[in-house]
């Protein structure tokens, strides 16, 4: 018997003991005000979260944002504003979005503990828009902000989109010399509007 056969034989007969999954039915971190904590978490990862009153007009709010007037190519999949000059429904080749300045989309869940927003491709025809845009604006309903990732995963466990992602803050990367660069591999800025 060769060494190879000997090793493979030992591997076949060596079966590790099964380990039980940890019990997840326990008390997880919660916050007295998860919306305030969500805003703090978004700021902590380099984004900006703004709570809008129920009567506020999102389109007007975006139009007044610093730097908005300089944007040339804007796309939106948001149901709360159609401020755009590029319709993703009319784009057949996602490469046409390479110079997208601003993209606006609706998140379905916000997570207070880390400032993450859950998005799927259900209403976004070209998911590359989330990553190729220079600036990203996301909306989330205040009633859809949960305390922690455990609560978020309980909500998305039954949904099976073709694509889903948690986004937390603008794109960031660092090298071995600890130089942090924002926007190298995605959006340079993230603004989250919390809608009441």
Per residue in 132-168, is it b (16+ CB within 10 Å) or e — as a string?
Answer: bbbbbbbbbeeebbbbbbebbeeeeeeeeeeeeebbb
pTM of the entire predicted model: 0.86
What is the DSSP secondary-structure string of 43-70?
Answer: HHTT-EEEEEPTT--HHHHHHTSTTGGG
What is the per-residue pLDDT for 172? 86
What is the per-residue pLDDT for 165? 96
Residue-wise pLDDT tens digits, 142-165: 999 999 999 999 999 888 889 999
Domain residue ranges in the chain: 31-88+96-195
What is the per-residue pLDDT for 195? 97
CATH class of 31-88+96-195: alpha beta
CA dihedral 169, 60, 63, 192 (to 10 degrees): 0
Residue-wise pLDDT tens digits, 46-94: 999 999 988 899 999 999 999 898 999 999 999 999 899 999 999 999 9
What is the per-residue pLDDT for 178? 80
pLDDT greater than 80 at residue 1: no
């Amino acid at each position: 018997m060769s060494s190879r056969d000997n090793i493979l034989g030992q591997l076949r007969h060596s079966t590790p003991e099964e380990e039980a999954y940890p019990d997840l039915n326990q008390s997880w971190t919660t916050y007295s005000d998860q919306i305030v904590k969500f805003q703090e978490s978004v700021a902590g990862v380099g984004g900006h979260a703004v709570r809008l009153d129920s009567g506020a007009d999102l389109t007007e709010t975006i139009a007044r944002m610093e730097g908005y007037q300089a944007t040339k190519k804007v796309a939106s999949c948001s149901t709360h504003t159609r401020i755009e000059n590029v319709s993703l429904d009319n784009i057949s080749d996602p490469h046409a979005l390479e110079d997208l300045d601003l993209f606006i989309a609706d998140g379905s869940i916000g997570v207070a503990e880390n400032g993450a927003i859950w998005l799927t491709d259900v209403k976004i025809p070209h998911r590359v828009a989330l990553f190729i845009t220079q600036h990203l604006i996301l909306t989330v309903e205040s009633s859809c902000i949960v305390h922690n990732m455990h609560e978020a995963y309980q909500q998305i466990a039954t949904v099976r989109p073709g694509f889903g992602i948690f986004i937390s803050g603008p794109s960031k990367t660092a090298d071995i010399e600890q130089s942090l660069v924002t926007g190298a591999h995605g959006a340079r800025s993230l603004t989250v509007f919390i809608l009441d």
